[in-house]
Amino acid sequence: MFSHIHLGSNDVERSKRFYDAIMDALGGAKSWKDTDRNRWFWQRDSAMLIVGEPLDGEAASDGNGVTIGFAVDSPEQGDAWHAAGLAHGGTACEDPPGIRDKGARGGIYLAYLRDPDGNKLCALKMMGGA
């Protein structure tokens, strides 16, 4: 449904280190830099993440109520994603990583982080029905 997400950053190289680490924890993604606009692209399959200086020239800020979700293959991969983010300038937010809503759907694994610019990120794995 979505083609790409663009997040603003006030320190693009710091953001690159953070996003390289969490993308590696997810199995990697092709990345390249747009030097004309000081932004980095990561692509996997048909989805693309772009992180760079806001195109309007103003300071980047996080969006209140906005969460960017990353699919993970297992809770272990989600834990690795979370640890990589914390080790590269991210901060924990929400509840600790784990399985929630253990109802008829079988639960949902969730792990939340804020990137170095304050953008809220989530790793998610649907665990299946009981």
Domain membership flag for residue 111: yes
Domain membership flag for residue 97: yes
pTM value is: 0.86
73: CATH: 3.10.180.10
Domain that holds residue 97: 4-53+66-126
Domain membership flag for residue 27: yes
Nearest partner of 28 among 45, 12, 13, judged by Cα: 45
Domain membership flag for residue 61: no
Taking a C-beta distance cutoff of 8 angstroms, is the pair 48, 4 a contact? yes
Separation between Cα atoms, residue 42 and residue 60, nearest integer Å: 19
CA distances 54 to 37, 57, 85, Å, are 9, 6, 22
> Total structural domains in the chain?
1
Q: What is the pLDDT of residues 2-47, one digit of tens each?
A: 789 999 999 999 999 999 999 999 999 999 999 889 999 999 998 9
Domain membership flag for residue 60: no
Nearest partner of 125 among 11, 9, 26, 16, judged by Cα: 26
Interstrand relation of 47-52 and 67-71 (parallel, antiparallel or unpaired): unpaired
Q: What is the pLDDT of residues 62-84, one digit of tens each?
A: 887 889 999 999 999 999 999 99
